[in-house]
Amino acid sequence: MNDEASQSTPILQMHDIRKAYGPVRVLEDVNLELSTGEVRCLAGENGSGKSTLIKILSGVVSADAGQVSLNSRQLGNDPMGAITAGLSVIYQDFSLFPNLSVWENIGFLTSVTSEDVLHRRSARRRLAIDTLKRMQVEIDPDAPVELLPVASKQLVAIARALANRARIIVMDEPTTALTRSEVAHLLEIVSALKKEGVSFLFVSHKIEEVFAVCDTVTVLRDGSVVVEGPIGAFDSERLVEAMTGRSVDSQRLPREESPVQRPFLAAEGLGRRGNFADVDLELRPGEIVSVVGLLGSGRTELAQTLFGYMKPDAGRIAIDGEAVSFKNQHDAIDRGIAYVPEDRLTEGLFLSQPIRDNITVSSLEKSTRFGIVRAAGLMQRARDAIKNLRIKAPDVTPAVATLSGGNQQRVVLARWMERDPKLLILNGPTVGVDVGSKREIHELLVSLSRSGTAVMVVTDDIAEAIALSDRILVMVRGRITASFDAATVDEDTLYNEVIREDRT
Amino acid sequence: MNALARIFATPQGIVFLVAVLFALVLGLLNPAFFTPSTLIDLARNGLVTGIFALGVMMVLASGGIDVSHTAIGAFAMYATMKIILGIDLDLPIIAYFVIAAAIGAGLGLINGLLIGGLGLNTLIVTLGTLSFFRGALLTFLGTTYITSVPREVINFSRTILIRIENAVGQMVSLPASFLVLVAVTIVLAIIMNFTLFGRKVYAIGGSEEAAQRIGIRIKRVKVLIYVIAGAIAGLAGMTHVTLSRMANPFDLVGMELNVIAAVVLGGARITGGHGTVLGTLLGVFVITMINTTLLMAGVPSYWQKFVIGCLIIVGTGLPIVFDRLAKHRQRMARPLEA
């Protein structure tokens, strides 16, 4: 199949694409080709420039230099042009209309491209039903999309592209939210469509799927193509190495062993309906514990329950040996627990506010005398914090939005440090952070833990868990299925444990 | 949840329920309530609100909000009367409506260009233009009542569709102006349900980003939405003249909260993507019934505002509470498993 793909003329060509946002170069001389019926994987870590490349391809963002041509015709900076030329992008959020029915969603793209004036109900509905039939999936065409499960939304998004006779389908991390069997089904559909001559550009960093479905692979790192070729020329180690730029047996951060201490927080038989069950957990000062699991494994819910944001249905939580029941997160904060949320941009920061205010907002009482906040005190604490956490900022007054991702994450950390937490829970602490900052944040967390704070990290990044933690707990479908000593476990063992779906 | 509970978990369901209860209480207090003449009274009283509400519904369905519609209506009606009196021609009544709609569309275009073209916040823009249009009307066009309206308007307002006698022997009539509401209803129902433009309105209300990504020209659609809403507001203004047989530049502005309340009670969501022509008319009916009957019962008019405020809060809040309860119950029904 590989040979077949390489012989036909490319249907899509991207040539010397360049893009910079201000001083930051996101893409540099990127070349990419796609033949009829080819499935190409676009692999790369977060921040490698994958999303920007897709946006340029779909015409949403314009490139600073370079050309995109489809069927030997050059594409301009126009989403409509790309769509009519047969290119459909399926975004991670699927970009469906939640308020409209399944059939209307599927037919909408076709209606727009054929520039209908009237709403052709019966024709579009039939088109949608036919397309779903062709994909051999059973979804009620009249159901509103907002009521569908995630996997079905994914299929509706594919059906919408197919209904518009898409020849190239770009899928941005299509399997993030799917279960294993749903992924298998998706890959089957991809293979079937490939036989009909549809080409796919599969954006993913899940090595397993890349090997299961792709013919060729292009690896992007820091905005450039580092390696490209048929999938047969790769094995998983080489691919990971190409993506990360370092060998697989990654560098675990050096640390001094700390004596085992009494747990600060202990959970026993903790359960919450539909999220997790039978979780036993001990978090000790001087120790970093990672909870590793896929999206939907209950890892986030567990973290939020420990922080008092959600209530458990079963089990007990004890702090310093004393049973507690948090009514809300304020109770947890009062007991010295801090939580750095998953999406620091939407959940954690006031982006348009100065760095100073972001750092000091949850610890104003420290600089308050007789109910009045002293501005000078805030200023001083914020300055100390950016020095301690090595936040790269000219001063503490610019808005947080002006900082890079890694520095923004550090501002969130700084805010919690101001409260001197006894337990710091971090959810995906380095998502969207570049490799260098990632390492620095890790170092920061290690030194924090050695100074006597209990740290719990929730992540799906296996390399991060190994580099950072002392102990790794694996969460599969809401249960802790394994516990490893981070110093001795290797990445493969851990990976296989994390993706294990069938419980024994 | 069974079917009945599901109906009452929707804003329309609750509104309908409240309306029925309200009507029953009124019927018990005053047996004359359940007569055809009441219905005609309501149709007449809710006429202008209804026309305004249909335009506002379209804006809400697209995820925006328009509070300037009453100012557009007032401006359009007063300007129309000024123009026609100024040129002193015998125009057929339809021309009055065409001119008013055109003026309304022109003012709507200003909203549209600010919101669609410049991408400004709809509430801020229409709050601004509400004041701007009203100020422009009173400053540049005049503040005097036009009581000597042309013969065509008088004739039209005397044209009666239905006339019946009510319980106390008075004649209750439905004027021909009601046809404007019927026409706007039909045209808007066609636009929203049978044209791609209408579907794009819902699509944008559902997810603006998704709409952009599949190649819908959002700016264009938005501009057109506000132009149409403006035209509808112009028609509402002109209809108001034919009912009151005079043009008072101080009229209309002030009723926008009533209109928005009716639209929201009719099922349109402030977050966009939802709203139907039929639901909106139901909302208007309920609001009008409450206003009219409270007035008839001699309840002070500030009570109306109180009741309508309660209805908005209950109508929009209760479904959300129900939804949360249902989700909680659903979760608790699951086994203690992951």
* Nearest chain B CA: its distance from A193 CA (Å): 21
Chain A CB contacts of B218 under 8 Å are none
Give the residue from B75, B185, B91, B190 showing the smallest Cα distance to B140. B75
The answer to whether the beta carbons of residues A15 and A57 sit under 8 Å apart is no
B192 inside 8 A of chain A by CB? no
Q: With contact defined as beta carbons under 8 Å apart, do A230 and A216 qualify?
A: yes
CB atoms A116 and B196 under 8 Å? yes
Task: Please state which of the ranges A138-142, A415-419, A451-455 shows the lowest mean pLDDT.
Answer: A415-419
Q: How confident is the model at residue B128 (pLDDT cuts 50, 70, 90)?
A: very high
d(CA A189, CA A203): 16
Q: Which helix (H) or strand (E) element contains residue A504? A: none
Choose the closest CB to B331 out of A117, A121, A273: A273
Higher pLDDT, A147 or A201: A201
Please give the average per-residue pLDDT across A163-178, as a whole number: 83
Length of chain A: 504
The confidence score (pLDDT) of residue B9 equals 61
Mean pLDDT of A409-437: 80
Residue A228 CA to residue B81 CA, distance in Å, equals 73
The pLDDT score that the predictor gives to residue A6 is 43
Q: Average of pLDDT values for A135-140? A: 86
Q: What is the pLDDT of residue A289?
A: 94
Which of A77, A108, A111, A474 has the highest number of chain B CBs within 10 A, making it the mutation to test binding with B? A108
Topology of domain B3-333, CATH: ABC transporter involved in vitamin B12 uptake, BtuC (1.10.3470)
**Percent of chain B clearing pLDDT 90 (strictly above):** 48
pLDDT band at B120 (very low <50, low <70, confident <90, very high): very high
So what's the ipTM on this one?
0.84
Q: Answer yes or no: do B274 and A99 touch at CB < 8 A.
A: yes
**Partner-chain residue, chosen from B273, B332, B337, that has the shortest CB–CB distance to A277:** B337
Q: Between A354 and B168, name the one with better pLDDT.
A: A354
| Greatest mean pLDDT range, A277-291, B150-164, B259-273 | A277-291
Residue % of chain B over a pLDDT of 70: 94
Q: How far apart are CA B313 and CA B307, in angstroms?
A: 10
Q: What is the average pLDDT value for chain B, to the nearest integer?
A: 87
- This prediction's pTM: 0.77
Summarised one tens digit per residue, pLDDT across range B200-212 is 999 999 999 899 8
- For residue B196, give the nearest of A94, A118, A160 by CB distance: A118
A119 to A109, A129, A191, A248, B166: CA distances (angstroms) = 12, 17, 33, 54, 45
The pLDDT of residue A344 is 60
| Range with lowest mean pLDDT among A432-441, B13-22, B111-120 | A432-441
CA distance A499 to A491: 12
Please give the residue of chain A at the shortest CA–CA distance from B331: A273
Q: Do A99 and B195 touch (CB under 8 A)?
A: no
Mean pLDDT confidence for A262-273: 92
Ramachandran angles phi, psi of A246, nearest 5°? -145, 165
**Would an 8 Å CB–CB cutoff place B194 in contact with chain A?**
yes
SS3 A284: coil
Q: Which pLDDT score is estimated for A447? A: 85
Question: A with B: how many residue pairs have Cβ under 8 Å apart?
Answer: 93
Mutate to test the interface with A, among B10, B207, B214 (most CBs of A within 10 A): B214
B224 against B171, higher pLDDT: B224
Strand, coil or helix: what is A49? coil
Mean pLDDT, rounded, for A231-247? 76
**Is the distance from CB of A105 to CB of A161 less than 8 angstroms?**
no
Average pLDDT over residues B142-166: 86
Q: What rounded mean pLDDT belongs to chain A?
A: 84
Q: What strands lie across the sheet with A276-283, from one edge to the other?
A: A276-283, A265-272, A314-319, A322-324
Q: Is residue A376 over pLDDT 90?
A: no
**Closest Cα in chain B to A480:** B338
CB-CB: which of B200, B215, B332 is closest to A83?
B215
Reported as a pLDDT band with limits 50, 70 and 90, residue B22 is confident
Q: Do B203 and A277 touch (CB under 8 A)?
A: no
- Taking an 8 Å cut-off on Cβ atoms, the answer to whether A112 and B199 are in contact is no
By the 8 A CB rule, do A143 and A102 touch? yes
B210-261 pLDDT, tens per residue? 998 888 999 999 999 999 999 999 999 999 999 988 899 999 988 988 899 8
B216: contact with A, CB 8 A cutoff: yes
> pLDDT at position B4, please?
64
- Residue B76, pLDDT > 80, answer yes
User: In chain B, which residues have their Cβ closer than 8 Å to the Cβ of A276?
Assistant: 338
CB contact under 8 A, A109 and B215: yes
Q: Who wins on pLDDT, B109 or A338?
A: B109
**Subunit contact A79:B211, Cβ cutoff 8 A:** no
Check whether A360 has a pLDDT greater than 90. Answer: no
The residues facing A266 across adjacent strands are A282, A318
Q: Does B205 touch chain A (CB under 8 A)?
A: yes
The neighbour count for residue A114, using CB atoms within 10 Å, is 11
| Interchain CB distance below 8 Å, A271 and B205 | no
Question: What strand order describes the sheet that includes A10-21?
Answer: A24-35, A10-21, A65-70, A73-74
Identify all chain B residues contacting A271, using CB atoms and an 8 Å cutoff.
Answer: 336, 338
- Sequence ranges of the domains in chain B: 3-333
Partners of residue B332 in chain A, C-beta under 8 Å:
273, 313
State the pLDDT at residue A48. 76
Give, for A20, the enclosing helix (H) or strand (E). strand A10-21
User: In this complex, is the C-beta atom of A62 within 8 Å of any C-beta atom belonging to chain B?
Assistant: no
Nearest CA in chain A to B216: A112
> Which domains are delineated in chain A?
2-244 (3.40.50.300), 263-336+424-429+457-504 (3.40.50.300)
Minimal Cβ distance to A119: which of B194, B332, B338: B194
